[in-house]
Structure 1
Amino acid sequence: MFAIVGVYNSQNDRIWAANYDEADAKGGIKQIQEFPQKVMVWLGICSKWISPLVIFEGGTVYHVRYIKEVLPVVLKFGNGIFGNDRMFQQDGAKPHTHKKTQDWYRDHFPGSIDKDHWPPNSPDLNLLHYCIWDKYARAINWDLVTSKKTLINQLECAVKKIPEQILFESCSSWTSRLYRLKGSHGNYLNK
């Protein structure tokens, strides 16, 4: 989720501090607009490719919208890069785990990891969470973001600035992260 006041991710952004003053000193307390204009984005990556950006300007992303707006993008560009030699993995978001979405996966991505075989909430194993979103947000020229229209423009420009080397490195580190996560007994990894 991106807003004209910056990146919004209440689930992943945390500041560990003993009190509010310490959190503020570490950059944790921010004053923002009560209801800033915002958009949700979807992005797919692999070691060789970054998908076109799918922007959701309004409303909730539920399974029907996800199937209609995101999955055709994945299918088109995934087939173009890998043909049938590919695997598609999602996280535990409701649009991803819905029965109709799972049926769509099985029909179009026979080698996909289904919802019962992927950790439902594992940012340590999601390439976008542990590497790409931060690089993407830093590529946005926030000084130019003054409205929803300029935010969308900057989101579209920033996706083109993510270096291929970052994609390759983040994908290459996945297997070692999997083993580190197993060794941590499910605790979060320190980068």
Structure 2
Amino acid sequence: MVSQFGSLGYTIMGKTADLTVFWTTIIDTLHKEGKPQTSTAKEAGCSQSAVSKHVNRKLSGRKKCGRKKCTTNRENRSLMRIVKQNPFKNLSKLHKEWTEAGVKASRATTHRHVKEFGYSCRIPLVKPLLNHRQRQRCLTWAKEKKNWTVAQWSKVLFSDEIKFCISFGNQGPRVWRKGGEAHNPSCLKFSVKFPQSVMIWGAMSSAGVGPLCFLKTKVTAPVYQEILEHFMLPSADQLFEDADFIFQQDLAPAHTAKSTKTWLNDHGVGVLDWPANPPDLNAIENLWGIVKRKMRNKRPKNADDLKATVKETWASIPPQQCHKLITSMPC
């Protein structure tokens, strides 16, 4: 059956056009002719309220209705400037400074606008503080070592000192517990103000890890030379045997002392040139991170227990893990 609007190209029972378009076309045509809404609804095959809504929406020309914004674009730009000037301010300070400038907005509105700008509150990354000269040295060093192969990096004996504490701060596993078990001793993570700790010197290469040295005193030049004598040289013999190697150390005062340089020269140990505070360049730093992650589920009770745990975890590091770290060194 063809309607009276067949000349427009629409059919009631056919599929030549969408029914919604068909209805709206009929409603618009009959509304222009001045037909009442009841007859229009009967012709279109819909309810009178549908005809009324369509006509009123089209006449108003309004997409949405809602509350008027309480801040202007200029005031929003001033908030963005406040955020850019000091991104370390918390939300309360941002809201206070913005409202002190004469803007009438709630704390929730401030938060919403900051999020609309694309900002999210995150824990900042931590990087070494370097001056211009140190940054240039790091860049020069990286360019020089850019084309080093895995075979060249495999000749390096990486070393570093690190402190292990019984408490590892906020890191650690979560706990499954039922309601009312929050203070159950088996569900608690204990902390102390001055946790016991151990200072350790270690070395690693592509072939694996060397023996650990647990330090009992401050590392001075003579103490460091004792470490080199009793731990670095045995590590080199274990990991490189008779092959040549390059020793890596940072620029700590005990490492760069004249007596230490003389000791290294007398023992024929070649030292890898190293920039000050290089970010994430020492492969052993990643290995320390692996050891700490493996120790998350351990609960040493005292310093001796902590030493035993570190020793056990360090010994469990497979050579394949060290080789994987060294293969990641080339760019």
TM-score (norm 1): 0.70
Cα distance in 1 between the residues matched to 2:238 and 2:164? 29
Aligned to 2:311: 156
Contact conserved, 2:295 with 2:313, CA < 8 A, in 1?
yes
Contact conserved, 2:210 with 2:238, CA < 8 A, in 1?
no
Contact conserved, 1:106 with 1:112, CA < 8 A, in 2?
no
Moved segments of 4+, more than 4 Å: none
Report the alpha carbon displacement of residue 135 of structure 1 after superposing the two structures with TM.
Answer: 0.6
How many aligned positions are there?
A: 149
Runs of at least 5 residues in structure 1 that lack an aligned partner in the other structure: 8-30, 177-191
Contact conserved, 1:54 with 1:70, CA < 8 A, in 2?
no
Sequence identity of aligned pairs in percent? Answer: 29
Q: 1:5 aligns with which of 167, 170, 173?
A: 167
Task: Tell me which amino acid in the other structure corresponds to 1:79.
Answer: D
Higher radius of gyration, 1 or 2: 2
1:66 aligns with 2:224: yes
What do you get for the CA RMSD once the two structures are aligned? Answer: 2.2
Contact conserved, 2:212 with 2:231, CA < 8 A, in 1?
no
Report the alpha carbon displacement of residue 163 of structure 1 after superposing the two structures with TM.
Answer: 2.4
Alignment of 1:38-77 (within 5 A): 38-56=197-215, 58-77=216-235
Report the alpha carbon displacement of residue 32 of structure 1 after superposing the two structures with TM.
Answer: 4.9
1:128 aligns with 2:284: yes
Runs of at least 5 residues in structure 2 that lack an aligned partner in the other structure: 1-162, 170-189
Task: Tell me which amino acid in the other structure corresponds to 2:266.
Answer: D
Cα distance in 2 between the residues matched to 1:47 and 1:92? 22
Cα distance in 2 between the residues matched to 1:128 and 1:106? 24
Cα distance change, pair 107–6 in 1 and its aligned pair in 2 (3 A): same
Cα distance in 2 between the residues matched to 1:40 and 1:171? 24
Q: Secondary structure at the match of 2:225?
A: helix
Report the alpha carbon displacement of residue 59 of structure 1 after superposing the two structures with TM.
Answer: 2.5
Report the alpha carbon displacement of residue 168 of structure 1 after superposing the two structures with TM.
Answer: 0.3
Alignment of 1:1-191 (within 5 A): 1-6=163-168, 32-56=191-215, 58-82=216-240, 83-113=242-272, 117-129=273-285, 131-140=286-295, 142-176=297-331
Aligned to 1:185: none
Q: Deviations for 1:20-59, whole angstroms, at most 9, x for unmatched residues? A: xxxxxxxxxxx95332211101110000020111111x32
Task: Tell me which amino acid in the other structure corresponds to 1:36.
Answer: P
